[in-house]
Amino acid sequence: MQTPATLYREKIEHSKVYAVAKETPLEFQSNLSARIHNRVLLKREDMQPVFSFKLRGAYNKMANLSPNALQRGVICASAGNHAQGVALSAQKLGCRAVIVMPTTTPQIKISAVKARGAEVVLFGDSYSDAYVHALELEKSQGLTFVHPYDDPDVIAGQGTIALEILKDHPEPIEAIFCCVGGGGLLAGIAAYIKAVRPEIKVIGVEAKDAEAMTESLKSGKRVMLEQVGLFADGAAVKQVGEHTFALCQQYVDEMIVVDNDAICAAIKDVFEDTRSILEPAGALATAGLKEYAKRHSLTGKTLIGVASGANMNFDRLRFIAERAELGEQREAVLAVTIPEKPGAFKTFCRLLGNRNITEFNYRYSDPVNAHIFVGVAIQSTTESDQLVAALQNEGLPALDLTHNEVAKLHLRHLVGGHAPQATNEVVYRFEFPEKPGALMNFLESMGHNWNISLFHYRNHGADFGRVLVGMQVPPEEKTAFETFLKQLGYPYWDESQNPAYRLFLG
């Protein structure tokens, strides 16, 4: 009697995907491999014509439809990669395609689908609304629904990725990692791998706030999540499919759940090796691969991740860049309290040593204490603990905010305000050389007891740092201050009359 794995092996080996899909490369990731001490390979599905693996399953489903069904046309509900896969497949097969998308879908995605010749119907505020409407149109117009994951032909189409991996890498493989939304990719790959190379582990990876498959496998039944986070929107599904769940129950070895910071770090890892930018769902496998290697103390093993998509919203890049260092545990975010008196700021900076400062926020607000928000580059969480201890030993209360969501998302942009007690304040914008010691050189050059009343710096990845500094300089010391500026050697601009400063900070 054939098992589901052997049945799917046959379906996968006879899948019709290559009329639209291409065999993507399996690429060695040299930087990531060196850092985690394992051989890391990425299956580059982000290089498909629609920048995602989704066209494999969509085309295989549609290519297996009867001529009569194709003539009537197909329909799906999607605001992302599946929509483009169905649209491209319909274009290739010469059939009508209707794509139902929520009214909130960005115009760039609507335009991409229309460019493939598909009809776009905007309906509802969410995917659920669009899905219900698509089912209604399916019945009323006699169309065939193309499910994004819970269909045997769709699952088999995604499973062709496993066939290509084993063809390109017949040598030993420790584990293959897949992102999980509804489970089509994971189910297809797991079924094929267990039929052909059962010794290879198949690991699913989900975002921390969208772990529908993880919870379902724990419960032994499909679980419906009340809500899901949308950062990894390509894998944000409240309930996994019936077909996919049954296959994953039998053939998936383990599930890994990662947070948004780990996803951002994985996007950076892939960029450093490939110069390509994956979407958050597309980087899930890489994030899970890293966590799995750490959890199981693996070294010298071959680990393969599926880079599943690169349809990135451009406006997310700033958030990703900010959070990547936190996800890699290469940045600590601290809140430090120092006495509000001349020299205290310099003492604080000496304690930071030659560590690279990634962000610095301070505004005078209290004649007794000053509260500083600072980001510091570190090598490990141990170093962060040591730095906090060193600050506290010097009588400077310090709080590690690295895992505080409110601090990372909001407070770092809200430090500031008016300071009526900061008399005789002048505000200057400087360009510091982006190297250790530049800040201390500035402080040492000051020489006088001018109190620093405002300080803001963020690392912008350039060869110089942009710094805004407020200092309390009495009128009688104006000449000495001008001498300090000239001797400092850093480019500077007087912003004391800047209307933005006067409105919000002065």
Over residues 366-409, the pLDDT tens digits come to 788 878 888 888 877 788 888 889 889 888 888 888 877 666 66
Token reading at 290: 């890293």
What is the pLDDT at residue 226? 87
> pLDDT of 7-64, one tens digit each?
999 999 999 999 999 999 999 999 999 999 999 999 999 999 999 999 999 999 999 9
Please, what are the domains in the chain? 329-504 (3.40.1020.10)
Q: Which DSSP string corresponds to 237-286?
A: -SS--HHHHHHHHHH--EEEEE-HHHHHHHHHHHHHHHS----TGGGHHH
3-state helix, strand, coil in the chain (%, to 5): 45, 20, 35
> pLDDT of 326-363, one tens digit each?
666 778 888 888 888 877 888 888 888 888 877 788 77
| Stretch 100-126: mean pLDDT | 86
Tell me the catalytic residues.
54, 308
Residue 42, SS3 per DSSP: strand
Residue 461 has pLDDT above 60, yes or no: no
For 340, phi and psi rounded to 5 degrees? -85, 80
What is the pLDDT at residue 504? 63
Given a contact cutoff of 8 angstroms between Cβ atoms, the answer to whether 47 and 71 are in contact is no
How many C-beta neighbours within 10 Å does residue 258 have? 26
The rounded distance, in Å, linking the Cα atoms of 45 and 117 is: 23
Q: Please report how many Cα atoms fall inside a 13 Å half-sphere around the Cα of residue 455, on the Cβ side.
A: 20
The rounded distance, in Å, linking the Cα atoms of 422 and 418 is: 9
* pTM, full prediction: 0.78
| Stretch 161-168: mean pLDDT | 98
List residues bridging with 306 in a β-sheet.
43
What is the pLDDT at residue 301? 98
Token reading at 403: 């895992």
Given a contact cutoff of 8 angstroms between Cβ atoms, the answer to whether 100 and 125 are in contact is no
The rounded distance, in Å, linking the Cα atoms of 183 and 247 is: 9
Residue 147, SS3 per DSSP: coil
Percentage of the chain beyond pLDDT 70 is 93
User: Using CA atoms in the order 260, 262, 267, 272, what is the torsion angle rounded to 10 degrees?
Assistant: 150
What is the chain's mean pLDDT, rounded? 89
List residues bridging with 326 in a β-sheet.
none
What is the pLDDT at residue 136? 96
Angle at 394 between CA 393 and CA 395, to 5 degrees: 90
